[in-house]
Structure 1
Amino acid sequence: MDWQLLFLSFGTIFLSELGDKSQLATLTLSGNSAAPRYVFIGSAAALLLASAIGVFLGDRISIFLPTQLLKAIASGLFAIMAMRLFMNDADT
C-alpha cells in the first residue's frame, strides 16, 4: 500500500473541501434537519461517488492522454473558472 499517496490525496481533498459550497450546503441542511446523521450519510455518499467517478475517469483518460497533458487541461479549466469568477465580480 502506498501510504504517501493515500495521505497526500486525503490531505489535498480535505483541505480543498473545507469551506467550499458543498460543505456550506451540508451545514445548512443539517441545521434545518431533525436527523443530521442522514445528512451526513447523504453528503458522504455523494462525495464518495463524485470521487469514484473522478478516479475512474482519470484512470481511463490517462490511457489515451499523457499525465502532463491532463494536468495542463485541468490547469487551463481552473484558470478559465477563476477568470469567469473575477469577471462576474466586476459586473456587480
Structure 2
Amino acid sequence: MRWALAASFIAMGLWILVPDKLDDDEANTSRSHFGVFGTTVVTFFLAEMGDKTQIATVALAARFHDFFGVVAGTTLGMMIANVPAILLGDRFAHRLPTKLVHGIAAVMFVVLGTMALFGVGV
C-alpha cells in the first residue's frame, strides 16, 4: 500500500507539470448547459461523495435525528470553510503566475510521495 501511495503522489506531482491544453470545443464555455452554478453543483457533489464530511453528516443525522438541523449545520460549516477559499482564489487567481503555482504543487506532491516511500512521518 505504501508503494502505491508513494507512486501515486509522485505521479501526480509530475502530471501537474504537464501544461493544460484545451480543445476549441472545451475552450468555448458559452455553450455550457449548466452554467457556472450548475457546473459547480455537479462538480462539488461528485467531489464530496463518500468523503469524511459525508460520513460525519450521516453520523450526525443518525445521532440527533434532526434533519433540518443537520442540513443547516453542515451547509453553514461548508460555507464557512469554502467561502474564504473562493474569495482568496478570486482575488489572487490573476496575480499568481500559473507556472509557479504548478511548480510548488508538484514539489509538494513529490516530497509527500518520497516521504511515503521511505515511511517518514508515519
TM-score (norm 1): 0.68
1:16 to 38, 47, 52: 47
Structure 1 residue ranges (4+ consecutive) displaced by more than 6 angstroms after TM superposition: none
Greater C-alpha radius of gyration: 2
1:34 aligns with 2:65: yes
Over the matched positions of the two proteins, sequence identity in percent amounts to 25
Per mean C-alpha deviation after superposition, the further-off stretch among 2-11 and 27-36 is 2-11
TM-score (norm 2): 0.54
Going from structure 1 to structure 2, the CA distance change for 1:46 and 1:78 (only over 3 Å counts) comes to: farther
Tell which has more relative contact order, 1 or 2 (C-alpha 8 A, sep 6+).
2
- Residue 87 of structure 1 corresponds to which residue in structure 2? 116
- Pairwise CA RMSD of aligned residues? 3.4
How many residue pairs get aligned? The number is 88
In 1, Cα distance between the equivalents of 2:116 and 2:41? 32
Per mean C-alpha deviation after superposition, the further-off stretch among 75-84 and 28-37 is 75-84
